[in-house]
Every structure is written in C-alpha cells, then in structure tokens.
Structure 1
Amino acid sequence: MQLAFVLVEPKVPENVGAAARALCTMGFGELWLVNSDLHTRPEAHWLAHGSDHILGNARIFPDLTAVRNSVDLLMGTSAKPRHHRQDWHQPAQLREIIAGKGASVATAALVFGREDRGLSNDELALCDLLTGFPMAVSYPSLNLSQAVMLYAWELSGLALAPTEQSRPEATDARLGALRQRLETLLPELDAPSDGKLSQWVFERLPLLTERDIGFAHTLCGNIERKLRESSSSDQQAPFR
C-alpha cells in the first residue's frame, strides 16, 4: 500500500518543509500538494533538513477531486465530526482501519486542510472517512506540520513496499472498485429518496477489511446478475 500525505493549499512554506521532514523521519515519502507550489520555495527547504528529495518529488494536483480520483481510500482531517457523520476516528483507530485493508487498497491518502480554515465542507464530503485528534483543551487546531508529524508517527510502518498481493490483477477487488460498483448499483435497488441508505453504506464502506471487501464484491456480483436476469425475463415475456 502506498500512503500519501496531502496538503491542501498550504499558506506557509516552512510548514511544507517541516511536513516533508516529518514524513522522512517516519519512513514515508509521498507528499502531495493541492493547488500550491510552496514546496519550491527556499523557506520550505530551510526546514526540510535532509528531506529535500521529498519536496523535489512532490506531486501537484489542481484540486481535491483529482486526488479523490487517484486513490482507493481518501481520509480527511477534521477537528470534530461534521454534519452528523458517524465516521470520525482517532489516529489509533485509523491505523487499524488502514492495516486491515491489505491488497484491497493500492493507494490511500490522508488530507490536511489549510492552516487558517481547514478543509471546506465540499472537500470533506469527498473523503471516505474523517479523522482528528481529541484535544485536552478547547484550542481549535494543531499547527499543520505538527499534525503531519503526529499522524506520521501513529501510522509509521504502514508505508509498505509493493507485494505480490498488490499486483494489477487484484484491481477489481479493491475498495475503489467496490465504491464505484455501489454508486451504480444502489440507485437500481430503489434506495430511499432521502439518501439515508446510501449514506449508511458509504460511511461504513471504508471500515471493511480486505476479506469483507471481497465478500461485498461477490454480493454485488450476485445482485447484478439477478437484476440482469430479471430485466431479460421482462423483455422476453409475451404480451397478455
């Protein structure tokens, strides 16, 4: 599994350099930036201290939607749960969730918002799940590079090299493929118009283990086959 750390429109180049240093010390190498070139600023390199290669190899995306389309699992950081979502997890819980994905997730990304206002509601809606640190005081947030360091420490060891299990043949069994399958399938099942069934499904989807994801793919395949058979039977039925 490849685990990327994504900074959305950071404002301070020193934070970008310090984030790169934090990733390097914890064994991570994927730093992605959204709509930013701060990794090229001298101030970023001043604080990188031996992690200039991470800044040099940083991937740049125009927006978070482009990141969403490039990963199987997208995790957003938020100081607290938003809009009645039940999928807010502390970092230790997040580690367990990621570790259980196995080959079903080729690439996961952890997203950090802007220093002054975090992630927008629309950006949070793109995320499969949300995560945050419980605070001992009511102070609203951590410094960006501090947050990256804490998560990198908690998740250290999950930046694994590709294995036989993650070969391309396993693509159809991945979490991202299951999400796309359900986005097509749920409307065909006449899900309630209020969207509560879809919300329930997609909030719990990222929590599935690799084995569960395989079972869910099998279940979707069986439902799809039944729907095709039903449709074919309706088309072939004689007029009465």
Structure 2
Amino acid sequence: MKINTLLFDLDGTLINTNELIIESFLHTLHWYYPDQYKREDVLPFIGPTLYDTFNSINAEKVEEMVKVYRKFNHEQHDVLVKEYETVFETVKTLKEKGFKLGIVTTKIRATVNMGLTLTKLDQFFDVVVTLDDVENAKPHPEPVLKALEQLGSKPEEAIMVGDNHHDVEAGKNAGTKTAGVAWSIKGRDYISSHNPDYLLETMSDLLPIVGVE
C-alpha cells in the first residue's frame, strides 16, 4: 500500500534539542546531587518521559524534579534549540505534495509548541499528539494509533520517523513502517541496531522513499 502519512518524533528528529535536554538534566541533577552526574550519564535519559527518568532516580521527588527541569528548559529553550539540516525543506515539500503529517512526542504540549513556533514548523502539521493526550507514552502504540486515527490513516499507509528506539518500537507496535535518523545523539549504530525499515542520513532521504522526485 502506498505511503500517504508521515509521523515524526520531535526532539532529536525534527529539531535539535539535544543540548537543551542535556543541560536541563544536568542543571536539575546538580541541584539535587552536586557533582554526581556527567554529560555521558544523562544520555540514556533522552527518550523516556521525564517522570520515568526521575522516578528511577528519586521516586519521592519526581514532581519537584520535573518542575526544576521544565523551568530551566523553558527559560533556555530559544537559546539552545537548533534546526536540523534539510528538515524544513523536506517537511514543506511533503506538505505541498499532499502527504498527511503528524507529530508524536513524549513532551508536553507547551514545550512542543515552543519548538514548533521557533523553527516555523508549526504551519505544516495537521496533528500533534503529546504526552498530555495519551495514557501510555511511546513505545506503547497508543500515541501513534491516536495520530493515525485523527489523520484518517491506516498503519500500513504510514511511516513513523524517530531518533530513539521508543519511536521505532512504537511504530512497529502500531503496524507502521519505521525510519530511524542517523543523526541520533546516541549514534547511527544505536538506531540501526533497532532495525527500522529505513535509515535516514538526512531528512531529505525520506522523499524518494515515499515517491517524491
């Protein structure tokens, strides 16, 4: 069946929030545990929800730690967030060619809106499914299936694109094709080891996959 729908993770896939996320984690963790965490220690925290991550560190202070993280994250957002090469042009082309486009993210809507507005990508997406909209975050299929339902698409007509194994697994669990991005902060080998159907070196690699010349 022909692909007519593209679903994207946001952070680390469409927009480069890696430095923002790393600095936000380090700020929060240094607040509670001075000098105990280094940059490499927080890389595994990229992907899961904040609640899952902080729950694994200190279950009694989860809410408090999330608030400290988000305050710093929002204050530094526009300084540290950057755009990935070919993303804007590729998404614009897909929209012009009539593809249905959605975002499926584990971030809350307020943070998502900041990133989309800053990069001017907000104009292209018909559906944005955030952590606020679901009971179960990726890799559970619920967010992907919810986006497909809102777009009026079937799983076999869609590709889920992401930088993390949560994205690949969520797509597979929902029955879509999957694409991993080689610019994942965890590395090309990391994302390819989770066996996405496609591996993108740049976002424009999506175009020939979906039949756009």
Q: Normalization by structure 1: what TM-score? A: 0.34
Which of these two proteins has the greater Rg computed from alpha carbons? 1
